Structure 1
Amino acid sequence: MDAMDDVDNLFHPSLEAALIKLDPEDGKQIMEYFRTQALLMKEKALLQASVRDQKKLLVENGKLKKDIEQLRSQLQENQRRRSAKALLSAAPPPSHTSPAPTTHVNQPAGVATNPAPPSSLDRRERQIRRRRGERKARPPSDSLSLGAEPRVDASRLDLRVGRILSVRLHPLAEGMSVQEVDVGENAPRTVVSKLGGETPLEELRGGRAVLLCNVKACKMRGVVSQARLLFCSTPDDCTELLTPPTGSTPGDRVTFLNYPGDPDRELQAKDRVWELLQPDLQVDSRGVANYKGCGFEVKGKGLCRAPSLTDGVIR
């Protein structure tokens, strides 16, 4: 942090004035080069901090796995004990008196002389089998409750870098606009957004943005929207598009170091993944977009950020 502040202090107006005085032709280009290098140093420091956080999370995950294994062993032991108790309680009590023999006079040969005990034994065996079946049916539900729940984190989002090819006002909705965006596919995607109120549309054309590409296509006031533009919003109602790092190209994936995994093919409305993740999608005090403190990263190229806003939410 102190190193970053020292880099920021280098760009004092007096330094720029001195460089321009020494070299009127190239002074401004030298200052711009210094600023670019300083931004790269900051992003490198942020990535290093993310690596340290990842190591801490790996240690915590190892501890959680051990705790889960202990809980699973305890559950299985408790289930075995309950099954044993159920079998003991279902066993017939010892009989101290023998049943009286039947007194049929003309009983044919080969017919059992005491049919009652076998039927009662059958009933008890059926009861024991039913109880065994109930006990055996419970462990799968317990194991599902421990480890089979689907993950809900930012790795399920298909975030990509896009370039806005064209932009126009929505013909039927005031305050909305329609963009054609290149996301590295054979054809551009049509996106309907709420940009276009205070944001000059001409400034959007040709710009780069971050898009959520695995949302279900839906019709918005007669125009089908095939993706979602991500932007930063602050409490005072200021908004601006998130921008990918310098050097990124349309179609580049935006990933999260601490949350690896492949995105869903399409986010299902019933799962409410976007709604569950949105409270943790934020822009921090440095303007860096992050999920639970883990930056939006284009591998090898840097982090996504809001151009000028800080301490906002991502929508």
Structure 2
Amino acid sequence: MATFPLDESFLAFLKTHAPNNAAAETDAIKASQALFPSATYTDAEKADIGQWLITAEHIVSPGEDAAKSAERLSSLNTHLSSRTTVLGAKPSVADIALYQKLAPEVSKWSPEERTGEQGYHHIVRHVDFVQNSPVFGLKLDEKVSVDPDNVMFKIKPVDAKAEKERKKKERESAATSAAASGTATPSTLTGTSTPSEGRKSKKEKAKDKLQAAGEAVASTAAGKAAGGTPPEGALTKKKEKKEKQPKPQKAAPVEKPLSPALIDLRVGHILKAEAHPNADSLYVSTIACGDAPGTENTSEYEGQVVRTVCSGLNGLIPLEDMQNRKIVAVCNLKPVTMRGIKSCAMVLAASPRVAEGEDNHKGPVELVNPPADSKAGDRVYFEGWEGEPETVLNPKKKIWEMIQPGFTTTDSLEVGFDVEGVPQLSGEGADKKMGVAKLKTAAGLCTVSTLKGATVR
């Protein structure tokens, strides 16, 4: 497998500014996997990472003339016009390498160079995204100052479909011009390479076969009409159809045993919250949950990948208490549309247990607090129940509905999972789990403010 060594200056940059001890790896692919453990790279993407590292070394080389530098910057700007990262959606060390080289230059650019009609809008956006996004998690003392409101010339977003159609029309126009001038070749007309001398293309061979078959059928018909025998090479009967072999059945996926580890719990950072325009009991929050760029059911807000989340907390928690705070989010429930707005996660909150038939939405309600030092996207799990969560919980299997009754708070105001609250998990013998498993992140335990023995949902 090809390797792509990192130079010393970039390794020093990673050691100072990057998380996950990425500088311990001297190969670009291994460093990318250390930085972004949830990302997987195809062989083509690995090769692209290597090429972009080479580009980063020369993108603003002081030895190049101004025209060559402008050409490289223009090419990168065009590439980023329809991509969040240089690979498209996946982050890699190539993005950080470009940031290392470009940030000092972008900081010196004039407003015209940044966002003028001929400016490098997409490079500026990429630099701002890399330096601020929790996906990269860079620890920077100084950042490039970017004012999103100071845009001199607003460009239209690139429509990938329209761009593909435009290129197709350009090829067709070139082929028409070549045909009119008498210089058309198979490659001019079809956009493919010209067959080598003395050989026919597959399309031409297929055409010859069809023509020969047609002539044979015609001569056969003529021979029969004249009472003669079919000429040599004539088609006399249809080929027998081959018996179709049954397709091998796919093996049924292995079903994971029931466990609270199936729930994808993460630290979320509410960037803003507002009242739902069509529902008095709902808030609509914009929450960073550590998703990679391009993840389904996410969008971008202030340079971060976010989810839109509706929660029935209006009237139970003051709106000001929902602003710029850390919470615990359930991230693998199937998205639901709530009064016209698609909700793509759920905010965990505690409330007192009520007797059957009583109103379980009357309050009080307290949000679950992750450790102060935790970051958006940090994994949240119950001690002793570690494991990989489902990508999306199947609503038909009611996994959340079975597991949630075990979510509780303790007398010490910690959030936990009481296995006795889930009859399906009441095992027997030495392997039987008992007691309350505490909810935690790598930074510590999750808590509530005052509610003891409460239910959490």
Q: Normalized against structure 1, the TM-score is what?
A: 0.51
In structure 2, the CA distance between the partners of 1:183 and 1:149, relative to structure 1 (3 Å rule), is closer
Q: Figure out how many residues of one structure are paired with residues of the other and give that number.
A: 167
Per-residue CA deviation, residues 244-290 of structure 1 (Å, 9 max, x unaligned), is: 01200000000122112100010001110010011111111111111
Secondary structure of 1:296's match?
A: strand
Secondary structure of 1:255's match?
A: strand
In the alignment, does 2:366 pair up with 1:248?
no
Residue 175 of structure 1 and its aligned partner are, at CA, apart by 1.3
- 2:410 paired residue number: 284
Secondary structure of 1:203's match?
A: helix
- Cα separation, 2, equivalents of 1:251 and 1:278: 21
- 1:312 paired residue number: 454
Kindly indicate whether the alpha-carbon contact (under 8 Å) linking 2:285 and 2:310 is maintained by their aligned counterparts in 1. Answer: yes
- Cα separation, 2, equivalents of 1:308 and 1:204: 18
- Cα separation, 1, equivalents of 2:410 and 2:277: 35
Residue 211 of structure 1, aligned match among 309, 329, 332: 329
- 2:318 paired residue number: 200
Secondary structure of 2:286's match?
A: strand
Residue 149 of structure 1 and its aligned partner are, at CA, apart by 6.6
Per-residue CA deviation, residues 37-64 of structure 1 (Å, 9 max, x unaligned), is: xxxxxxxxxxxxxxxxxxxxxxxxxxxx
Residue 310 of structure 1 and its aligned partner are, at CA, apart by 1.5
- 2:308 paired residue number: 190
- Cα separation, 2, equivalents of 1:296 and 1:164: 20
Alignment of 1:1-315 (within 5 A): 150-185=256-291, 186=293, 187-235=305-353, 237-292=363-418, 293-299=436-442, 301-315=443-457
Kindly indicate whether the alpha-carbon contact (under 8 Å) linking 2:271 and 2:323 is maintained by their aligned counterparts in 1. Answer: yes
- Cα separation, 1, equivalents of 2:347 and 2:263: 13
Residue 188 of structure 1 and its aligned partner are, at CA, apart by 0.6
- Cα separation, 2, equivalents of 1:298 and 1:180: 22
The one-letter code sitting in structure 2 at the alignment partner of 1:252 is D
- Cα separation, 1, equivalents of 2:279 and 2:441: 34
- Cα separation, 2, equivalents of 1:150 and 1:298: 23
Secondary structure of 1:279's match?
A: helix
- Cα separation, 1, equivalents of 2:289 and 2:386: 21
Q: Normalized against structure 2, the TM-score is what?
A: 0.36
The one-letter code sitting in structure 2 at the alignment partner of 1:230 is L
The one-letter code sitting in structure 1 at the alignment partner of 2:275 is L
Percent of pairs with identical residues: 34
- Cα separation, 1, equivalents of 2:390 and 2:441: 19
- 2:6 paired residue number: none
Per-residue CA deviation, residues 47-105 of structure 1 (Å, 9 max, x unaligned), is: xxxxxxxxxxxxxxxxxxxxxxxxxxxxxxxxxxxxxxxxxxxxxxxxxxxxxxxxxxx
The one-letter code sitting in structure 1 at the alignment partner of 2:349 is F
- 1:20 paired residue number: none
The one-letter code sitting in structure 2 at the alignment partner of 1:215 is L
User: Unaligned stretches of 5+ in structure 2?
Assistant: 1-253, 294-304, 355-362, 419-435
The one-letter code sitting in structure 1 at the alignment partner of 2:333 is V
Secondary structure of 1:197's match?
A: coil
- Cα separation, 1, equivalents of 2:340 and 2:346: 16
- Cα separation, 2, equivalents of 1:167 and 1:256: 28
The one-letter code sitting in structure 2 at the alignment partner of 1:296 is L
- Cα separation, 2, equivalents of 1:198 and 1:150: 36
The structure with more helix, counted as a fraction of residues:
1
- Cα separation, 1, equivalents of 2:313 and 2:255: 37
Residue 235 of structure 1 and its aligned partner are, at CA, apart by 3.6
Kindly indicate whether the alpha-carbon contact (under 8 Å) linking 2:316 and 2:364 is maintained by their aligned counterparts in 1. Answer: no
- Cα separation, 2, equivalents of 1:306 and 1:160: 16
Runs of 4+, deviation exceeding 3 Å: none
- 1:57 paired residue number: none
- Cα separation, 2, equivalents of 1:303 and 1:213: 19
